[in-house]
Structures are given as structure tokens and as C-alpha cells.
Structure 1
């Protein structure tokens, strides 16, 4: 691995390995567990890694080997019903009790010295929050990397089924613990059948031809209401308000769980917990790939500080973020650095984007026709698939079912640091639609790169304007002089999100899908935190906003 990531520290210890140890779960089921350890005498603290994805690649090198080399016992355990462990897997129900059972087993091991930390990404973060519901006294630190605390929010982001996450995440959980070959075959099978799966009518059960039956996934897809009894106890947010365990958080601006990581930071900070945040230019997958030197160094410094009383590697501030556009790292005292004052950029006639509000907020401004047989595609963004991240979106913007509103070239740089929101007034001819909104950075050569985005469902009287708020997530991005700020609007981002049938019927069961006419009205605004501070170039009141760069609107 050091041949690939030259930023990794040198090895301190040779590593030993005890594979396949049977550790009793809370119900007595054997949970297979691998133990990595430094081959030297002495006391070493312990890291607990609980995963439903198997104990081989990538966890064995990323955690078992790399951290054992640095002087830690590392215990990698397969969750109930996965990786050869006994019992049946459930998306969230077993983790609190099984985590406590793992700690009870550790207490009986002669090499365990009472210093414990947890570490891991994604669902491995969820198992950490589950243990933190009732943290054992030995737990001295946590490192939650791109981790979730709310499974419902992961699968039904913004109130819309996140189809890409459901399918890609379901594939990983169902097959990765069976080995790399099984996972690759399943991913290829899903990719070949993705079009048929995501356009099936009804959508319910369409994934079975590619993935087989996955009962927990089907239940999660079938329960869009967060108040459904199925989700009782799934959201571990209550633990965030009382956790006192020092916690290091890692996320990426294009990570599908970025909003959950930032919520974790806010709640822990408010509760007075010792917490740090590292936010890089990463997707859910790339943080432990291209970002590994930064992520590993951050984790190692945190663990040494809280398990070995060695704070020498800690950075000077709690927060470090990567600022896109500027392509630089920045240390901040908090996130956001201060309460951000949002600047409104208004959609204007001709596909323009201006800092001046319209005189008539109800006036129809631009409209699009969404065809469910040929929906606007998802391009980049917070996906699990390999197409995630920052992408050139010009091909999507050229479609008739995507509206773009573009500001003039900036005379000075504009920084957007914090949560981005679209506050919109829209109408639709069927009364049911989705609104997908996206912030883009347009370079002088016309390249339009996505920064952040979000989606929200709309239910209103047909033809009647209604207000909708679309949360586009948070970002740290610098729009350089000569660049333009662009706002995309569509009624779909497929297959990232399940299509709205336009009839009000449940998405999984709908067989009839109606074309939708979506109209954006003049009161619609993109709210950018701090975006006015650098003085965006805007016309004086009463002057023309000027032509949009690549803009379009048929209003």
C-alpha cells in the first residue's frame, strides 16, 4: 500500500494475526473476529472494527495491518449474519447489543489493557454510534469516517427514495462479505440490468433478477415514512446529544453521507464533546483511496492523542476543510466558521441569475416538460457508484427538461462555505413532482461542474404556485474571477432517485407515470452562505441582468 500512497508513515512493528475467532453475540451467535497485533512485548491499546462487509479487503489492510503496524491491537468483527458469523443480519437492530458483547469479550483477553477506541467508515460508523448509546468505560475515542447514524435518512434522502444508494448499498452489504469475486460478479450483474431495474413498472421487486431477494433491503425500500414502526430505534441521533467520547469525524463534499457527518459534528459540538472534523474533496469511496494519506494521518493523530496521551500530531483547529475551486485546505475554528449570512441569487428571465429580487414573485419564469420515459439523468454528485463526484454537466444542461440560470462572469472571487438552499415557488400541471436543484461552477471555457445538489417532492393543487425548499447540502467552494455561478433545476435525476409517477401513487407500486410540466416562478432564489462577501458582479437596479452563460428558459 505504501507504493500507492506515499504519504503513509513508516511501519513501527511487525504484525501478527489470529483469524476467525468465535466471539459470542448478545444472543450467543458466534461472530467471527480477526485479531491483528504488534509482534512485540508491551501494552498496546485496542481498536474495534465491526463490519457487515466481511473481514478481508479492504478492512484487513486498511485497519488490521496499518494500525497494528503503528502499535495497536485491531479487532475486526463480522456483524451478525455476515462474513461467516452466526445469526441473521438486520440493517440496524442488533448493533447496540452486539457491540456491548464484543467489549465484554475484550475484557477477558489477556492482551486487552483497558484502552479502547472504535474506527471505520459507512455502516462501520453506525456500529460505533450504536456502541455509544451506552458507552463502556473503556471507550476512550471514536473515529467515524463517512459514517451514518440514520439509516432512513440514507435511503430516503430529502423525502425521495435514493435508488442508487439502495441498489449499490444493498449489493455491497449482500455480497461483499462473501468475498471480492462474489461482489464483483454482483456489481457487474447489476450494471448490466440497471436500466431494466430502475425503469421497471412497478419498481417493487425489480432488483431481484439482478441481486436476488434481500429481505432487509426490500423492507427499507418499502418504508418511506420515517415514523413507520419499522424504523423505531434506527436513528441514533439521541446518542449524539450525550456522547462524551472524543470523536474524530471524516467526510467528503461528494459523500452521500456528508449531511449526516455534519449533523454529527454540530450535535456533538453543542453537547460539549471533544470533536474534530475533516472534510475533503472526496466521494464515499475515494476518501479511503485517493484521500487515504490525509484520512489515515488524521485518525492516527486522534488515536495517539486520546489513547496514548500524545497530542503532538493534532492539528491546531478542530476543523479542516478542502475548499473546491481554490483547491486548498483551510483550518477553521468551527463549522461553519461563523453563522453564515446567506445571499440570495434570483432566477431571472432569459436564464439569468441575479442578486436583485423580482418585482412580481408569482410571475411564471421558465418551465420544462418532464418525460418519465426519458428522464433527466443523474450526473455525478453524492452517489455510491463510480460516477460519483465532480463532473462536467454540460450534456445534461443541454436537455430541454433541465433549466439553467447563470450569473454573469464574476469580477471578484466568491466563496460559498456552509449549507446551500434553494427557496422556490413552482407549479405543476399534475400536482405531483420532484424538484432537483444543483449549484454549478462554470469556467470561462464553458465547463459546468457540479458543486452540491438536493431534491424535494412537491404536492400541490394542479396549476397553483406552491413554495418548496430544497436543501442542497453543505460545501466549501471558491468561485474564481471570470467564473459564473449556475443553478440547475429539473424534475428528476435518474437513476439516482426513484421517479415521481406524477399521480400521487407510491413510487414502488406505480405502473402509470404521467409527463409533468414544471414551472418555476420569479420568487425563486438560490441561497448561498457568504456568497455576497466578495462582491459578485451584478447589474445596478433597473439594469438588464445580461445574457446567461449557457442559460436557457422557455418561460
Structure 2
């Protein structure tokens, strides 16, 4: 890849991709996040829902707040380098700096946390929050065999079920939209992706009224696999009245021995956080969850063999079974919401 991009080998790039895990000592010794709580200077964070650094920016914000500091936070509908984030960062940054350096707060916005809510074409506008994440509870949506997302928890005596797909690293599930560094469009029509046989979808009925969700998103998926080496990609989408599925937030996790522990039935509890969201699902729209095992090339494909992705010499297809119902209730957990119940 480095030779294709630059015409020569890039040693630091080659070294970095041989250490894919954040917990690897290679990255631990280069990670300054543990020192964030020691920062005494005033800090203002400006980022976007589609910024590739958003989750870690929010971790730093939380660390400073927990240490008794008073950081400010602005999240808009932007990627990392979008014109909007640059303009807002400059405007709000100048007012903030003037307040801190010249003791003149005439240009500084008073809100400590301000986020833009996406959705409904033009978006839901700006919200002022008292904390991050908002303390508004959660909404749990359970996955069902018929591809539905439902608010009702499966009955204890309900019949267990599942859905299956095969992930083939020789034809990896492609990436489509999502957080980016540059100004490429992050939100796209996901119907071509959802038409693939290696992508499962679970969808609510149409919403009776608008639902607004701001905060972290989580999935708790019970999965059986033909291999102990596989990835799980989960994505929340907003399906509009025309049936177009627009991506809202997602994440990928790599499963390997020692990371998740199988239960007695050999099911893996693949529980992980998705990208934080601030989104408004309009009345009549549907909430959708995608489940697959890749988003290539945004995430390096899993060869299915346990080899490092950077040096893999073999590619092995993996059969995935997503479990539902009694005993293994897979669920999507949305952040605190306002609006109607689903369905």
C-alpha cells in the first residue's frame, strides 16, 4: 500500500500496521491519554459526529471533567477537516481565547456543552447539554428472527432463533460512508450495502413520532462462528419515508481468542460501543441496525486465519450466526431519547 501511494516503502507505516491493537505495548508507550487529567490549562474541544477522532476526544473531555476541570465541548455535523468545523473552531476559539487571555468574555458562548443534532435533511439544530454523556437513560431494541428490531424483551420461554451469513475475505464487505479524516461525504445511501448477502439488517416499524437520541450507542450481540478469528461490524441507520437507509453511527470490533469468552453453547458475547450519535429520527422513519463482518478498506479485512492483516498469506471464509431470543437476546442499546415508543 505504501509503495502504491508513494512509490517507495515507508518504514514507520510498515511498523505501525504490524501493531493493530490499541492495547499493544507499541501504542501504550506512545499514548498520552493517561496524562490528560493532569492538564491544568483551560481546554476547549471542537469536533464533529463524523470526525475519525471523536470517541477519543470525548474520552479526553470526560477525563478532564472527572479531574475537576471545566472543559468546553462543541460537536457539529462535520468530518475532521470539513469547512464547518474549521469555521466554527476559529470563531468559537477566538472568543474563548479572548476570554481566557484577556478576561473579556463578550465573544465567548456561555454554554459548556453544545451539540448539533443531525437528521431530517436540515438537521434538528443545536442542543445545550448539562453533561456528557447526557443522563437520560437508554432504549433497548431486541433483534428478532424476522429482521425486526422490537422494544419488547423476548419472553423467557420464547423459542431461540438466529440468522446467518458468510464473510469471505476474498470479497470483503465494503465500507460505505462513515467517519473520515478529509471532506468526503460521510453519510450515504446504504441500500447497495444492505443488498449484499453478507450483511444482515434489523429494522423497527415506522416511528409514530420523532425520536431524538444523543450519546453513546452499544450493541450486545450473541454470535457463533466457524472460526475463532472474525470481525463484527455494526451500524445504526435512519430509513426515510422513501426507503433510503442513511448511516448514522457504527463501529467494528475484532474477535479473537482471549478477547471474548464463549459460553457453554459456544456463543460469543460480542458486546461493544459504536460511534456516539446526536440524531433525530423523524416520525414515520425507521431505525435500522446492520450487522456484518467487514468495512473494507476503512477497516483492514480480517483474513479469518489468525494472521496479522498486514502479513496474511491465506484467506479463509467464516460462517457467522447471529443469535436472538431466549438465552441469547441480542440487543441494540440507544442513548437517552425523547419521543414515542417504537412501533
Q: TM-score, normalised by structure 2?
A: 0.90
Alignment match, 2:305:
503
Q: Deviations over 1:164-199 (max 9, x none)?
A: xxxxxxxxxxxxxxxxxxxxxxxxxxxxxxxxxxxx
Q: Deviations over 1:373-432 (max 9, x none)?
A: 222110111123554511111110111111000000000111111100001101111222
Q: C-alpha separation between the residues in 2 aligned to 1:500 and 1:308?
A: 53
More helix by proportion, 1 or 2? 1
2:147·2:202 contact (CA, 8 Å) conserved in 1?
Answer: yes
Equivalent runs, 1:476-555 vs 2, <5 Å: 476-522=278-324, 523-531=329-337, 533-538=338-343
Distance apart, 1:454 and its partner CA: 0.5
Q: C-alpha separation between the residues in 2 aligned to 1:384 and 1:478?
A: 24
Return the structure number with greater relative CO, CA threshold 8 A, min gap 6: 2
SS in 2 for 1:420: strand
In the alignment, which of 150, 155, 160 is matched to residue 354 of structure 1? 150
1:371·1:514 contact (CA, 8 Å) conserved in 2?
Answer: yes
In the alignment, which of 406, 409, 420 is matched to residue 217 of structure 2? 420
Distance apart, 1:278 and its partner CA: 0.7
Q: C-alpha separation between the residues in 2 aligned to 1:413 and 1:356?
A: 19
Q: C-alpha separation between the residues in 1 aligned to 2:24 and 2:256?
A: 20
Equivalent runs, 1:150-229 vs 2, <5 Å: 206-211=1-6, 212-229=8-25
- Unaligned 5+ segments in structure 2 are none
Distance apart, 1:224 and its partner CA: 2.6
1:437·1:470 contact (CA, 8 Å) conserved in 2?
Answer: no
C-alpha distance 300-344 of structure 1, shift in aligned 2 (>3 A): same
Q: C-alpha separation between the residues in 2 aligned to 1:465 and 1:333?
A: 40
Q: Deviations over 1:77-123 (max 9, x none)?
A: xxxxxxxxxxxxxxxxxxxxxxxxxxxxxxxxxxxxxxxxxxxxxxx
Q: C-alpha separation between the residues in 2 aligned to 1:423 and 1:261?
A: 24
Q: C-alpha separation between the residues in 2 aligned to 1:448 and 1:227?
A: 34
SS in 2 for 1:349: coil
Q: C-alpha separation between the residues in 1 aligned to 2:23 and 2:171?
A: 33
In the alignment, which of 411, 421, 438 is matched to residue 208 of structure 2? 411
Equivalent runs, 1:21-420 vs 2, <5 Å: 206-211=1-6, 212-286=8-82, 289-325=83-119, 326-337=123-134, 339-359=135-155, 363-384=160-181, 387-420=184-217
2:79·2:186 contact (CA, 8 Å) conserved in 1?
Answer: yes
2:46·2:85 contact (CA, 8 Å) conserved in 1?
Answer: no
SS in 1 for 2:171: coil
- Unaligned 5+ segments in structure 1 are 1-205, 539-555
C-alpha distance 228-467 of structure 1, shift in aligned 2 (>3 A): closer
In the alignment, which of 218, 238, 246 is matched to residue 441 of structure 1? 238
Q: C-alpha separation between the residues in 2 aligned to 1:446 and 1:245?
A: 48
Distance apart, 1:327 and its partner CA: 3.1
Rg larger in 1 or in 2? 1
- Aligned pair count reads 329
In the alignment, which of 466, 469, 474 is matched to residue 276 of structure 2? 474
Q: C-alpha separation between the residues in 2 aligned to 1:290 and 1:227?
A: 33
Distance apart, 1:469 and its partner CA: 1.2
2:80·2:182 contact (CA, 8 Å) conserved in 1?
Answer: no
Q: C-alpha separation between the residues in 2 aligned to 1:504 and 1:239?
A: 33
Distance apart, 1:264 and its partner CA: 1.2
Distance apart, 1:208 and its partner CA: 2.0
Q: C-alpha separation between the residues in 1 aligned to 2:133 and 2:27?
A: 31
Larger deviation: 361-370 or 237-246? 361-370
Larger deviation: 361-370 or 340-349? 361-370
Q: Deviations over 1:508-530 (max 9, x none)?
A: 22111111111110011000011
Q: C-alpha separation between the residues in 1 aligned to 2:181 and 2:159?
A: 38
2:79·2:183 contact (CA, 8 Å) conserved in 1?
Answer: no
Alignment match, 1:110:
none
C-alpha distance 215-340 of structure 1, shift in aligned 2 (>3 A): farther
Q: C-alpha separation between the residues in 2 aligned to 1:225 and 1:488?
A: 24
Q: C-alpha separation between the residues in 1 aligned to 2:84 and 2:34?
A: 33
1:444·1:482 contact (CA, 8 Å) conserved in 2?
Answer: yes
SS in 2 for 1:294: helix
Q: TM-score, normalised by structure 1?
A: 0.57
1:245·1:274 contact (CA, 8 Å) conserved in 2?
Answer: no
1:362·1:465 contact (CA, 8 Å) conserved in 2?
Answer: no
Larger deviation: 446-455 or 361-370? 361-370
